[in-house]
Amino acid sequence: MQSIIKLLWLIPVLPLAAAGVGALLKRERRRASALLAIGAMTGSLVLSLAAFVATLPPADLPRAVCNFDWLDFGTASLQLGWLLDPLAAVMLVMVSFVSLLIFVYSTGYMASDENFTRFFCFMSLFAAAMLGILIANSLLLLFACWELVGLSSYLLIGFWYQKPAAAAAAKKAFITTRIGDIGLLIGMLWLYARAGTLVFYDRGHGCLEQSALSQLAGQTILGGMTISTAISLLIFCGAAGKSGQVPLHVWLPDAMEGPTPVSALIHAATMVAAGIYLVARVYPLMDGTAALEAVTWVGAITAVFAAAIAVAQNDIKRILAYSTVSQLGYMMMGLGVGGVAVGMFHLITHAFFKALLFLGAGSVIFGCHHEQDIRQMGGLRKLMPLTFAAYAIGMMALCGVPLAFSGFWSKDAILTAARQWSVSSVPFYLGMTGMFLTAFYMTRQMFYVFFGRSNPAARPAPESPAVMTIPLMVLAALAVLAGLLGTPAWPWFDAYLKGGPASVDFSKLVSGRQIAMTLLSATVIATAMAFGVRLYRATAAQAPRPADPLEAKLPFVFACLRRKLFFDEIYDATFVRLNRKFAQLANWMDHAIWGGLVALASKLAVALARRNSAFDERAFNARFDATCDGLKAGGKILTRWQSGQAQRYLRVIGLAFCALLLLMVWGCK
């Protein structure tokens, strides 16, 4: 562990260097840029795996850090550094692995794009920033990388900036996450002011270590809230922005305007996970504070809320986007109710199956000539068997079909923890509702896309190239297998994060509570799926598709959901409108009140001046004019000095020089 920590900085620096070199490549050097990015990512993956192996139990240390002084000001200094612990290591492996797969996939998906080299440059930059977040041992470094992630996601969402929608979505994503980031920034400054350091772990002096934590938890501000709670809430603002939690989720579905690999990388696997990771990273700060309750509630509400909206969407990627928001809610809830391991486990499994779903969606979109409306698709099951199989696995994993799929085990852990939560049982029921909705909308989507008759207008193409399907298959395998790391029988993941060995105990699998949970999940999912099949089988079979049967039955609810519960409209009507109103008010104030005052004053002054002027004209002006004339004549003499003749100036300088010399040599005896 001590040896790998020396090389840890290379993990983000390799893709960063690839981005730097890639930025200098000519647009025609497509192969070179792709090879560069993939090569750098492979290097990062290898290093990440090495780091991961070093952290496997029995590890010699719980965590290794490497800090250095970044800048000194006065007596204080800012430290930066990187750290390696199981949490970071597992994320490093996940991010670099998924990134690598998506890079490979992109070479196929983006093959016909003329800005291929720019794309890989941005992707490498993004990966570098993301990996930087993971190894940061300082909130400052983390924040810097955090902002870099924001920047690169802006660049990538707006990659097709010629499309106005993409440009607007990029702007929206940037600004919305900025709102959360302001919270993070304030929290960071506050933390620095109180703890005197932003380094997480530094041999007992870090801000996440015992001395600093007890100091922070000891002080209270307004309303009995401890400082650590307040700072945690502010930091959670940043996490909520990045991870698309209600009410800052609005950017995430819009961000689907970017290329699909970007959606897969940023909005499924990595960037949105950054918020979860941040909460997990500063968990010692939040532990035992009221902030965790806030995290739980926000997460639970987001989980249901986004799943409900997803039911009525028609854009294949938008559905997945809302599903992501919903799953992020689960993760937050998991962090809140069950701790780091529960939330992070869902993060890891979700990264695999959601990346799989996005890449599968990308494959579908690629095959349907960039058609994204699911009503225009259909019957792709026969044309794209591999994609269909992979997508089905992803869908089952997302729904959490019991026992076989990774999604079940991770979601099960969250729900079990929620069931046992001491504060309230509402999050558990919310989670169950979300599960039902998830199964329902995924069934709907499957029927629309893969079953029924193909739409001749969409001209669906046969299977995508191997460079796209192979990552799909790899991810499909992982979407199944990743769950085995965290079953109740063998809670390896939980133990790994805690740094201890995992014990195998199959009896837990057949304990009454576990069986009850499994049966409950199975019932909910089966009901939802059956409901979905019943509703949509007939609709999917017809081409062109009739109106959505749900819409026919519940027109009002459906319309609300389709308009995303009017969130954009509410924001327009409240924040945007309020802002505009305020500006109008200010404008009116300027014109009416201040302008009126000024006008009044000036009128008074004019009147006074009129009176004075007559007097002035006679008493003062005659003399004054004479003085002015004198000055003007003097000025004319002086202007002749400023002749524009450089050499005349030089001569004056020479004279002055002589005078100075004479004064120095002969004057100061």
Partner 1 sequence: MPNNIPFYLAAAVTLGGAIAAMSLRNLVHCALCAAGAFAGLGAIYLQLGAEFVAAAQVLVYVGAIAMLIVFAILLTRGGKVKLTARQTAPNRFVGFLIVLLVCASLAGSILRSPSLQARTLALPEVTAPAQRIGENLMTAYVLPLETVGLLLTAAMLGAVVLAIREEPEARLRSEPTAQRRQALEEANIS
Partner 2 sequence: MSPPSQYLIVSAMLFSVGFAGAALRRNAILVLIGIELMLNAANLNFIAFWRCGAHPEALTGVMFTIFSLAIAAAEAAVGLALIIAVYRHRRTIQLDELESLKG
The residues of the shown chain that bind partner 2, judged by CB under 8 A, are: 638-647, 650-651, 654
DSSP track, 447-516: HHHHSSPPPGGG---SPPPHHHHHHHHHHHHHHHHGGGGG-TTS-HHHHHHHTS-----GGGGGSHHHHH
Do 156 and 267 touch, CB atoms closer than 8 A? no
Residue 221, strand partner residues: 225
Could you give the CA distance from residue 286 to residue 233 in angstroms, rounded to a whole number? Answer: 9
Q: Under DSSP, is residue 226 helix (H, G, I), strand (E, B) or coil?
A: strand
Residue 136, strand partner residues: 82
Interface with partner 1 (CB under 8 A), residue total: 13
Nearest approach in angstroms of CB 645 to partner 2 is: 6
Q: Which is nearer to partner 1, 621 or 643 (CB)?
A: 643
Nearest approach in angstroms of CB 626 to partner 2 is: 24
Nearest approach in angstroms of CB 666 to partner 1 is: 8
Nearest approach in angstroms of CB 648 to partner 2 is: 9
Q: Which parts of 269-288 interact with partner 1 (CB under 8 A)?
A: none
Nearest approach in angstroms of CB 29 to partner 1 is: 22
Do 334 and 327 touch, CB atoms closer than 8 A? no
Nearest approach in angstroms of CB 637 to partner 1 is: 17
Q: Applying CB under 8 A, which part among 128-136, 314-322, 509-517, 648-656 lies near partner 1?
A: 648-656
Q: Which is nearer to partner 2, 71 or 638 (CB)?
A: 638
Could you give the CA distance from residue 80 to residue 197 in angstroms, rounded to a whole number? Answer: 10
Given partner 1, partner 2, none, residue 639, with its beta carbon under 5 to 8 Å by kind, binds partner 2
H/E run at residue 42: helix 30-55
Q: Which is nearer to partner 2, 618 or 640 (CB)?
A: 640
Given partner 2, partner 1, none, residue 664, with its beta carbon under 5 to 8 Å by kind, binds partner 1
Q: Which is nearer to partner 2, 423 or 658 (CB)?
A: 658
Given partner 2, partner 1, none, residue 618, with its beta carbon under 5 to 8 Å by kind, binds none
Could you give the CA distance from residue 108 to residue 464 in angstroms, rounded to a whole number? Answer: 9
Given partner 1, partner 2, none, residue 638, with its beta carbon under 5 to 8 Å by kind, binds partner 2
Q: Applying CB under 8 A, which part among 344-352, 443-451, 624-632, 654-662 lies near partner 1?
A: 654-662
Given partner 1, partner 2, none, residue 665, with its beta carbon under 5 to 8 Å by kind, binds partner 1
Q: Which is nearer to partner 2, 640 or 669 (CB)?
A: 640
- Whether residue 247 is preceded by a cis peptide bond, meaning omega within 30 degrees of 0, is yes
Residue the block writes with tokens 């995290």: 295
Contact string (CB under 8 A) for partner 1, positions 606-645, x = contact: ---------------------------------------x
Q: Which is nearer to partner 1, 606 or 650 (CB)?
A: 650
Beta strands in 162-258, from DSSP E residues, in sequence order: 220-221, 225-226
Given partner 1, partner 2, none, residue 58, with its beta carbon under 5 to 8 Å by kind, binds none
- The gap between the terminal CA atoms of the chain, to the nearest Å, is 74
Residue 647 touches partner 1, criterion: CB under 8 A? yes
Given partner 2, partner 1, none, residue 655, with its beta carbon under 5 to 8 Å by kind, binds partner 1
Residue 665 touches partner 1, criterion: CB under 8 A? yes
Question: What contacts 24+ positions apart, CB below 8 Å, involve 480-485?
Answer: 480/393, 480/397, 480/404, 480/405, 480/406, 481/406, 482/348, 482/349, 482/352, 482/406, 483/349, 483/397, 483/405, 483/406, 483/407, 483/408, 483/409, 483/410, 484/406, 484/409, 485/345
Residue 180, strand partner residues: none
Residue 404 touches partner 1, criterion: CB under 8 A? no
DSSP track, 522-533: HHHHHHHHHHHH
Nearest approach in angstroms of CB 657 to partner 1 is: 6
Q: Which is nearer to partner 1, 175 or 653 (CB)?
A: 653
Q: Which is nearer to partner 2, 534 or 648 (CB)?
A: 648
Q: Which is nearer to partner 1, 544 or 654 (CB)?
A: 654
DSSP track, 103-158: HHHHHHHTTT-TTHHHHHHHHHHHHHHHHHHHHB-BHHHHHHHHHHHHHHHHHHHG
Alpha-carbon distance values, 348 to 342, 575, 597, 618, 620 (Å): 10, 35, 64, 91, 88
Do 274 and 146 touch, CB atoms closer than 8 A? yes
Q: Which is nearer to partner 1, 75 or 647 (CB)?
A: 647
Provide the greatest CA pair distance for the chain: 112
Q: What tokens does 516 get? A: 């009850």
Residue 199, strand partner residues: 138
Checking DSSP bridges between strand 225-226 and strand 64-73, what pairing results, if any?
unpaired
Q: Which is nearer to partner 2, 500 or 654 (CB)?
A: 654
Residues 6+ apart with CB under 8 A from 110: 116, 119, 259, 261
Given partner 1, partner 2, none, residue 642, with its beta carbon under 5 to 8 Å by kind, binds partner 2
Residues 6+ apart with CB under 8 A from 38: 100, 103, 104, 107
List the one residue from 501, 601, 651, 667 that touches partner 1 (CB under 8 A): 651
Q: Which is nearer to partner 1, 161 or 657 (CB)?
A: 657
Nearest approach in angstroms of CB 582 to partner 2 is: 49
Residue 500 touches partner 1, criterion: CB under 8 A? no
Nearest approach in angstroms of CB 648 to partner 1 is: 8
Given partner 1, partner 2, none, residue 75, with its beta carbon under 5 to 8 Å by kind, binds none
Residue 655 touches partner 1, criterion: CB under 8 A? yes
Torsion, Cα 470 471 472 475, to 10 degrees, reads 130
Given partner 1, partner 2, none, residue 422, with its beta carbon under 5 to 8 Å by kind, binds none
**Amino acid identity for residue 351 in this structure:** A
Given partner 1, partner 2, none, residue 77, with its beta carbon under 5 to 8 Å by kind, binds none
Given partner 2, partner 1, none, residue 644, with its beta carbon under 5 to 8 Å by kind, binds partner 2
Residue 654 touches partner 1, criterion: CB under 8 A? yes
Could you give the CA distance from residue 67 to residue 69 in angstroms, rounded to a whole number? Answer: 7
Contact string (CB under 8 A) for partner 1, positions 59-78, x = contact: --------------------
Residues 6+ apart with CB under 8 A from 329: 245, 246, 298, 299, 300, 301, 302, 303, 304, 305, 306, 434
Given partner 1, partner 2, none, residue 404, with its beta carbon under 5 to 8 Å by kind, binds none
> Nearest to residue 208, comparing CAs of 220, 221, 219, 195?
195
**Amino acid identity for residue 456 in this structure:** P
Q: Applying CB under 8 A, which part among 87-95, 218-226, 330-338, 655-663 lies near partner 1?
A: 655-663
Given partner 1, partner 2, none, residue 68, with its beta carbon under 5 to 8 Å by kind, binds none
Q: Which is nearer to partner 2, 24 or 664 (CB)?
A: 664
Q: Which is nearer to partner 1, 24 or 664 (CB)?
A: 664
Residue 667 touches partner 1, criterion: CB under 8 A? no
Could you give the CA distance from residue 428 to residue 430 in angstroms, rounded to a whole number? Answer: 5
Could you give the CA distance from residue 199 to residue 191 in angstroms, rounded to a whole number? Answer: 10
Which residues of this protein are in contact with partner 1, per CB under 8 A? 645, 647-648, 651, 654-655, 657-658, 661-662, 664-666
